[in-house]
Amino acid sequence: MSEKTLVVIALGGNAIKQAKEKGTVENQRRNVAITCEQLVKMNELNYKLIITHGNGPQAGSLLIQQEEAKDLVAPQPMDIVGAMTQGQIGYMFQNILQNYFMRKKKNIPIATLITQVLVKEDDPDFDNPSKPVGPFYTEEEALNLKETKGYIVKKVKPKGEKTWRRVVPSPEPYKIVETECIQALIDAHAIVIASGGGGVPVMQKADGTLIGLEAVIDKDKAGNKLALSVNADIYLILTDVENACINFGKPEEKSLGKITVSEAEKYLAEGHFLAGSMGPKVTAAIRFVKAGGKQSIITSLACAVDALAGKTGTIIVK
């Protein structure tokens, strides 16, 4: 590449915490280190990188801690929890990436930016929450939590022993508040970690004041807004599967390779992608290309570099 290609990378929860793990610091740092190995390879291939990430497991765990300790320590609202987990996860990526580059004797600036994202207070998701947070549960466990804790729970995976999770409001993102700061860091040749967990959801009052809201924005949709706001070339969504599939979990299951926006929209309308799983990823990928992005890619962490080279993954183009 003669000119560096700007890639916004949206990392799924598996890049930080595997579903069957307890989420210890050791678990999370090991997963982040594996992810950072791929990020270093992308940097060596001359890609400019902006990293965004999910925070569902971390935010869910922190909310549980807050509930259990509420008689000892004042619990914090969800926007504060989002900011806290942005800092937590951003620190791990920043620290481990810096150490990788130091061992390679490369001086590459890396910055984590606590990011606010504008949403609308009357978003319908406040009435019908859809964003999974925290651990996976069996149906019995989930319904018990609904009864005893007042959780809103939904099935978010089509198969498996634990397919249910707690869900919270997930309003549509409209604007990345810190776009100018992110652009300045890109111009300074930094690797930027931004809009973590979808960003802190804020609404803007008539006088321009920003107010945090009790919600968690979908990180893939916010990642799309981030990619568009900085004129990224590629929006790369990394999850736990190599390709998006139609007829997932059925005998006629089929992996999707390179497809057009119209094909992706058709499959989405036919209900092939679950709302709490692949649905938001495909929606965000479609939006990026329709708004002028060159291509969106959905693939697994291990296949990221090959997918950027066009060798694998679900690649959505005009």
Residue 130 belongs to a domain: no
DSSP secondary structure code for residue 189 in this structure = T
Q: Which among 17, 48, 131, 154 is annotated as catalytic?
A: 131
Q: Which among 17, 154, 219, 221 is annotated as catalytic?
A: 219
Residue 167 belongs to a domain: no
Residue 216 belongs to a domain: yes
The answer to whether 55 and 216 have CB atoms below 8 angstroms apart is: yes
Q: Please list, in sequence order, all residues whose beta carbon lies within 8 angstroms of the beta carbon of residue 278, skipping any fewer than 6 positions away.
A: 239, 244, 245, 248, 298
Q: Which among 12, 13, 60, 199 is annotated as catalytic?
A: 13
**Distance separating alpha carbons of residues 179 and 190, to the nearest angstrom:** 14
- Quick check: helix, strand or coil at residue 87? helix
Which pLDDT belongs to residue 198?
A: 95
Q: Is the pLDDT of residue 146 over 60?
A: yes
| Residue 13: active-site member | yes
Continuous H helices in the chain: 25-44, 56-68, 78-103, 139-149, 179-187, 219-229, 261-269, 278-290, 304-308
Residue 204 belongs to a domain: yes
Residue 162 belongs to a domain: no
Residue 157 belongs to a domain: no
| Residue 14: active-site member | yes
pLDDT bucket at 2, cuts 50 / 70 / 90: very low
| Residue 219: active-site member | yes
Residue 106 belongs to a domain: yes
Maximum separation of any 2 CA atoms in the chain, in Å: 59
Q: Which residues constitute the domain of residue 46?
A: 5-56+72-118+174-317
Q: Which two three-digit tokens encode residue 134?
A: 């925290």
Q: Which among 14, 31, 224, 243 is annotated as catalytic?
A: 14
Using one digit for the tens of pLDDT, what is the confidence trace for 75-134?
Answer: 898 899 999 999 999 999 999 999 999 999 999 999 999 999 999 989 999 999 988 877
Residue 64 belongs to a domain: no
Which pLDDT belongs to residue 46?
A: 92
The number of distinct structural domains making up the chain is 1
Residue 256 burial (CB count, 10 A)? 19
What is the pTM (predicted TM-score) of this model? Answer: 0.88
Q: HSE-up of 146 (CA within 13 Å, CB side)?
A: 16
**Distance separating alpha carbons of residues 49 and 100, to the nearest angstrom:** 15
Q: Which among 43, 196, 281, 313 is annotated as catalytic?
A: 281
Which pLDDT belongs to residue 159?
A: 82
Q: What is the CATH number of the domain that holds 281?
A: 3.40.1160.10
Residue 204 burial (CB count, 10 A)? 17
Q: Which two three-digit tokens encode residue 164?
A: 């249910």
